[in-house]
Structure 1
Amino acid sequence: MKPTLRIVHLFCRLLQRERLNRENVIEEYKINSRTFDRDISDIRNVLSELHARDELIYDRNDKCYYLSRGGLQDFTGMDVMAILKVLLGSRALCHDEMMGMVDAIRSLLPYEDRKALYYAIEDELKNYIEPMHGKAILELQWRINKSIINKQKIRTIYTKADGKRIERDVLPVNIVFAEFYFYLVAFRDESEYEYPAFFRLDRIESIKVLGKVGENPLYTNFRYSDMRPAVQFMYAGELLEIKLRCKKSALEAVVDRVPKYEIIQETDESVFLKVTAFGEGFIRWAAMQGEAVEILAPQELRERMGQWFAKAAEIYMHAVGDI
């Protein structure tokens, strides 16, 4: 291999966060120690001439050269493994987008760590199941994010859960992820609520930027972080103060789901709490807890929960015929 090509090759390996062991490189490229030292010196000169933040460093413990990141902290293998485990477990993206993102994140690691990481996530990669909609959403997400930054109203063509297509002008304020899907958080022109609505990104067929809205107080006053603890299953609507009883065994599940809470009373088996949540989403979550969670107030919400259970019980009281 020509000297120039060899130096470029070594430099590329360093850029990929590979650690170059002196003896291994000498053996691999069939060069002597003086040639290796010249190559390292040439790479250092290139970095200096480019005024690069990266610095070529020698680790005396494992006798390897590697590129620093100008004081920035590199991702470790365990960092990236945790990120990819969460990402793959979320099933948030279609197959092609997920595989592309996994490859991009893995490339942040040195070669040896990338190889070890592959074995840690190999099963999830080979058996990844994309969401049913199967749509690519990253480009749409980025376009909407630009409208949020520029404070621009957009017109969306949106397909509802029943298949009905609607056109709606909205003021986007955030994009969030929850329960397998990305959602656009946006205020509707005709909304009767003081809080925004949620629109699944995969159901947005198209968007059109309508123009800037100026210093709208909805942008300056709204903080999704204030709203998020009260949201369940991405249903907004009316914000309620809800009193409930839960079994002590279910307390952790309740407070993790609704972090804005106040414990009112405790008994040997139960805990009585007051939580702040959006009613529609909270009913759907509470129904999944069965007898472990009981809504005490407001009365209207308690009655709706009772009606929900009554309808469910009626369904299960009838025998199932042959299917």
Structure 2
Amino acid sequence: MANSNTQLKTHRVLSLFKRLASGEIIQKSVEAERFHVTEKSIQRDLDDIREYLAEEQIEGKCCEVIWSPTHKGYTLVNISKTWLEKHDVLAIAKVLLESRAFCMSEMDSLLDKLLLQVSPEERQHIQKIISNEKFHYAPVKHGKELIHNLWILSEAVREQRQVRLNYKKENDDQYIQRIVEPQGIIFSEYYFYLIACIHGAKYEFPAIYRIDRIQDMVILSEHFSISYCNRFEEGEFRKRVQFMHSGPLLRIKFKYWGKSLDAVMDRLPTARVVESDGKVTLLEAEVFGKGIKMWLLSQAECLEVLGPAEFREEMKWSVGKMLSQYTR
């Protein structure tokens, strides 16, 4: 009998804690009726939860069960900066929706889990704010689930294990098979990319694979090794690549006289101002590959590329080719 009572109490306490953690308001009278016990028993259960949380606070996890006069019940509140708060959840939800990176089912799941971090009242408020964006959410066209593969590939990166993958290039009906040594995962312009070296190949820079175009993959038992000084650094690579077009490292120099120099500096994190007269600004930047040309051309007549000389000639050719489309 004693053992049975202990099990019932354990179940009751866990139920209360689970619902407190999900943002529910606990009323002693309601819970006493639910579990067929007295309100004093529920109070003791809440005291047990408080004692547990007090011990957890020593480890830096600061939560507390308090009485809410507004709701006439008990609620769990975060009294530290270790949990997401309502404004954090709103900001992350906005970024997720703007990314368009996930299919509808994954986006719904991510938002639902994210909203569980706040109270039901705050959850309802955030849902109203994002409801229009969520209703009109337009995921990218591939429609594939990605989250599981992102985790699998991140494990392969961490463990330095080779991956055999079947990959389909854009506008190509045929799949190619590669054994690669994954270096990192990057998100850019709606898509996730795997940065990897092709096993056995001697290329100056790694290959870039859009993860949604990987048809299937197998994590192999074979490992590869990279010295610490030669490790791939996603952050440094991301600062120097545009539209995920890989290639040799270029140091470009250009003049800019558009409306927003800040937008240029944000787009090119490696850019630095060499000189400026208040109207025209001379900048230098380090970039990988030719994706930078796509961005430079998008600035229309607001800039001029000065170097390298070969790259300047390439820009002149592209501008001339564009002009010819309008003068035929």
TM over 0.5: yes
Q: 5 Å matches for 1:1-323?
A: 10-20=16-26, 26=29, 35-36=38-39, 38-45=41-48, 48=51, 53=56, 56-58=64-66, 65-67=74-76, 73-163=82-172, 164-189=174-199, 193-217=203-227, 221-318=231-328
Moved more, 192-201 or 273-282: 192-201
Q: Structure 1 pair 168/7, CA: closer, same or farther in 2 (3 Å)?
A: closer
Q: Structure 1 pair 248/265, CA: closer, same or farther in 2 (3 Å)?
A: farther
Residue 4 of structure 2 is matched in structure 1 by none
Q: What secondary structure sits across from 1:112 in the alignment?
A: helix
Q: Structure 1 pair 55/308, CA: closer, same or farther in 2 (3 Å)?
A: closer
Q: Structure 1 pair 214/249, CA: closer, same or farther in 2 (3 Å)?
A: same
Q: What secondary structure sits across from 2:144 in the alignment?
A: coil
Q: Deviations over 1:101-121 (max 9, x none)?
A: 111111111111111111011
Distance 1:105 1:55 in 2: 18
Q: Structure 1 pair 67/220, CA: closer, same or farther in 2 (3 Å)?
A: farther
Q: Structure 1 pair 169/214, CA: closer, same or farther in 2 (3 Å)?
A: closer
- Determine if contact 1:92/1:181 at 8 Å carries over to the other structure: yes
Alpha-carbon shift at residue 165 of structure 1 (Å): 1.9
- Determine if contact 1:19/1:64 at 8 Å carries over to the other structure: yes
Alpha-carbon shift at residue 37 of structure 1 (Å): 5.0
Q: Deviations over 1:228-279 (max 9, x none)?
A: 2111111121101101000152311211111112222212421011111124
The Cα RMSD (Å) is 3.1
Q: Deviations over 1:262-320 (max 9, x none)?
A: 222212421011111124011011111111122110111111112112222222234xx
Distance 1:56 1:100 in 2: 28
Q: What secondary structure sits across from 1:73 in the alignment?
A: coil
- Determine if contact 1:153/1:212 at 8 Å carries over to the other structure: yes
User: Which residue identity lines up with residue 96 of structure 2 in the other structure?
Assistant: L
Q: Structure 1 pair 206/52, CA: closer, same or farther in 2 (3 Å)?
A: farther
Alpha-carbon shift at residue 144 of structure 1 (Å): 0.9
Alpha-carbon shift at residue 44 of structure 1 (Å): 2.8
TM-score between both structures, scaled by the size of structure 1: 0.85
Between the two proteins, what is the percent identity of the paired residues?
30
Alpha-carbon shift at residue 183 of structure 1 (Å): 0.6
Distance 1:209 1:313 in 2: 48
Distance 2:304 2:202 in 1: 29
Q: Structure 1 pair 42/242, CA: closer, same or farther in 2 (3 Å)?
A: same
Alpha-carbon shift at residue 35 of structure 1 (Å): 4.8
TM-score between both structures, scaled by the size of structure 2: 0.83
Distance 2:63 2:320 in 1: 69
Alpha-carbon shift at residue 51 of structure 1 (Å): 9.5
Alpha-carbon shift at residue 220 of structure 1 (Å): 5.3
- Determine if contact 1:44/1:56 at 8 Å carries over to the other structure: no
Alpha-carbon shift at residue 218 of structure 1 (Å): 7.5
User: Which residue identity lines up with residue 113 of structure 2 in the other structure?
Assistant: A
Distance 2:324 2:166 in 1: 38
